[in-house]
Amino acid sequence: MVPFSPALADDDEAPPPQPPVVYTKYETRDRNSNKNAIIREDYWYTTGVAPPRKLNSPLVLDDPKWNAFGSCTTTGENAGGTNSCTYISLKQRQPAYSKYGFTIAQGARDFQQLKTILQQQDWKLAATLVVTSPDTRDLPPPTVDALLKMVLFASSMLTSPNFSGPARELLVARFYANEYKFALDELSDAILARDLPRAQAAWDFGKDSFNSYAQVVNRQIVPKVGDPFSFIE
């Protein structure tokens, strides 16, 4: 099989004039009812409220803003105790990490490499990391392959048998997985067009989105489960 070679814009061709684009407002874009998301039912779709672009600290489970269950029994004096409504056993978490953890971590590592590759404007190498072949027989790049795994992993790590519906913690993780997908789509288009400002803006947004996703799921990745996901820098 001939390796997929993305069609990049010709450097010798002057691009048609375009109106200036503000790339810093990705978080306030029209999400079109999540029709292009990796999974429609996320926190924004369910509540109509978008979480912040960057989640800088773990969710506090007993915070009414995030807790899907109201007041639950919590062991220990602080929020670090076990919340009875959100407890997920190691028997549920360990297989999920074994199945999806490596793929997600590899996708994040490849995404991290993109920062330097974009600075060098090595468009062909950048394309191999994010641009998906139109031939469905070809495997997607690890960054793209990780997207569905991120959703499946979050479902396994954040769905408690003590509650029948999706926890808000899970909906928040889905939201950031959807934001990460949008960033990858933007990156793919920008790389094919050799649009450096757009590509760098999309990379920054993807970094914030993945790191926020990791803030949510890492709480469940204790030593007996595996190593928590490293943040993209």
pLDDT tens digit sequence for 180-196 = 999 999 999 999 999 99
**pLDDT at site 4:** 63
Q: What's the one-letter identity of residue 148? A: L
pLDDT (tens digit, 9 = 90+) per residue, 88-137?
889 999 999 999 999 999 999 999 999 999 999 999 999 999 999 888 77
pLDDT confidence band for 2 (50 / 70 / 90): very low
Q: What is the average pLDDT across 2-31? A: 65
What's residue 134's pLDDT?
84
For residue 68, give the DSSP letter.
Answer: T
Higher pLDDT, 142 or 76: 142
Span 94-222: which CATH code?
1.20.120.290
Tell me the β-bridge partners of 74. 83
Indicate if the pLDDT at residue 24 is higher than 50. yes
pLDDT at residue number 165: 73
Over the chain, what is the mean pLDDT? Answer: 85
Token pair belonging to 30: 């029209």
Neighbours of 104 (CB within 10 A): 25
More confident residue, 212 or 165: 212
Burial 117-136 (b: 16+ CB within 10 A, else e): bbeeeebeebbbbbbbeeee
pLDDT tens digit string along 42-87?
999 999 999 999 998 777 655 544 444 344 544 444 444 455 556 7
Confidence band, pLDDT 50/70/90 cuts, at residue 166: confident
Q: Where are the domains of the chain?
A: 94-222
pLDDT confidence of residue 1: 47
Cα Rg for the chain, rounded, in angstroms? 19
pTM for the structure as a whole: 0.83
User: Which residue is listed with tokens 């990791």?
Assistant: 214
Output the pLDDT for position 89.
Answer: 87
Q: Phi first, then psi: give them for residue 48, nearest 5 degrees.
A: 80, 5
